Amino acid sequence: MAEQNLQIVAYACEHCAYAAADLAGALRMQYPPEIKIVLLPCTGKLDVLLALQALEDGVDGVMVAGCLPGDCHYQDGNVNARRRVEHLQQILQQIGLQPQRVQMFNMSSAMAGQFVAAATQMAEQILALGHNPLRDLPPERNL
């Protein structure tokens, strides 16, 4: 996948998904290097505009990784994140980008294998979609 030079941003909850990614690293489990993790205190802090800006700037995919349903450290942050991801997917559909470029995954801090599987699934999906078409536009054409 590295030959495609894909860029995927993963917004990860510090209590669950980020800890799972950290555990995967400690266990020397490998996930695609295209995944760049951004730590959030909770996926409920996911800003739709920030994710849209990342896509406008040419990121090929956005992965949101949070706590298991019903286990959010901030009560319903992951539920709010899921709703925002669905809203992002609708926006992408409306503007002509593939909504699959944004996905949400849920896991606990002990699920290193699940993080690796989710990251791999996301990278494979983005590889199948190809580069974000906004990446090739000149900067003055980006809206």
Beta strands in the chain (DSSP E): 8-13, 35-40, 61-66, 102-106
Enter the pTM of the model.
0.89
Q: What is the pLDDT of residue 2?
A: 45
In-domain check, residue 109: yes
23 assigned to some structural domain:
yes
User: What Cα–Cα distance (Å) separates residue 99 from each residue in 42, 45, 96, 129?
Assistant: 23, 21, 9, 10
For residue 143, being part of any structural domain is answered with: no
Q: Is residue 137 part of a domain?
A: no
> Would you tell me how many other CB atoms lie within 10 Å of the CB of residue 7?
18
Residue 81: give the domain boundaries. 2-132
- Residue ranges in the chain whose pLDDT is less than 70: 1-4, 138-143
Q: Please count the other Cβ atoms lying within 10 Å of the Cβ belonging to residue 103.
A: 21
Number of domains present in the structure of the chain: 1
Give the tokens for residue 10. 């993963």
Q: Is residue 108 part of a domain?
A: yes
